[in-house]
Chain A
Amino acid sequence: DQQVKQNSPSLSVQEGRISILNCDYTNSMFDYFLWYKKYPAEGPTFLISISSIKDKNEDGRFTVFLNKSAKHLSLHIVPSQPGDSAVYFCAASVKDSGYALNFGKGTSLLVTP
């Protein structure tokens, strides 16, 4: 029962352009959403998060948008850089669940020079 879905397994973007990674969820109880970045042979690294009371959170080149009515969130990276090439995982949690994260399958982003 996959509650967090990332339907694009891969994305290729040119350096300097915008990367948009999408994520959908099914559980309306989720109230906290996070994006993680993962390089091969390393653990996921926390990137940015958003609470369900907000619809946008920005941190430098990274912005996360949340559309609760559509149960959709997206991560925008602008401008994209070759070092951004990695697998990006979307995750969601419910406050009272012990903060267990439900992860999507990940989207592999390749930023080409």
Chain B
Amino acid sequence: DTAVSQTPKYLVTQMGNDKSIKCEQNLGHDTMYWYKQDSKKFLKIMFSYNNKELIINETVPNRFSPKSPDKAHLNLHINSLELGDSAVYFCASSPRYGGYTFGSGTRLTVV
């Protein structure tokens, strides 16, 4: 029974396409996040939602749009994919103040 599950695990797509990554958590956490791990292995925050409300929006191109239909879900939609978007994207959730629980990641490859 996975705590934070994200799908798909692997995604290969062509430049210019639009794609979505889904994330669901069953931990009852109020806050969910999207992180990006780039080729240099840096984990950087992209977005944070608390109870469906956007609270962090880092400097991310507006081609990236998070959607939180309820507090258990935070999906990431990416328009007009570019080569530089290739990375591993991690979803995570946390209680008000505590350690995150991460999903297993989605490896996005744009060709």
Given A34-B99, A99-B31: A43 in contact with B104 (beta carbons within 8 A): yes
Residues of A with C-beta under 8 A to B105: 41-43
The residue from A43, A99, A106 contacting B102, defined by CB atoms under 8 A apart: A43
Interface size class of A (residues with CB under 8 A): 20 to 34
Main secondary structure of the interface of A (DSSP, over half): mixed
Contact with A along B92-111 (1 / 0, CB 8 A): 10101111111111000000
Among B4, B31, B43, B90: residue with most chain A CB under 10 A: B43
Chain A residue nearest to B97 (CB atoms) is: A99
Q: How many residues of B contact A (CB 8 A)?
A: 27
Interface of chain B, helix or strand or loop or mixed?
strand
Docked Cα-Cα span, A100 to B105, in Å, equals 18
Chain A: minimal CB distance from B41 (Å): 6
* Contacts A/B (CB < 8 Å), 16 sampled: A36-B100, A36-B102, A42-B105, A43-B4, A43-B90, A43-B102, A45-B102, A95-B97, A97-B56, A98-B55, A98-B56, A99-B48, A101-B43, A103-B42, A105-B40, A105-B41
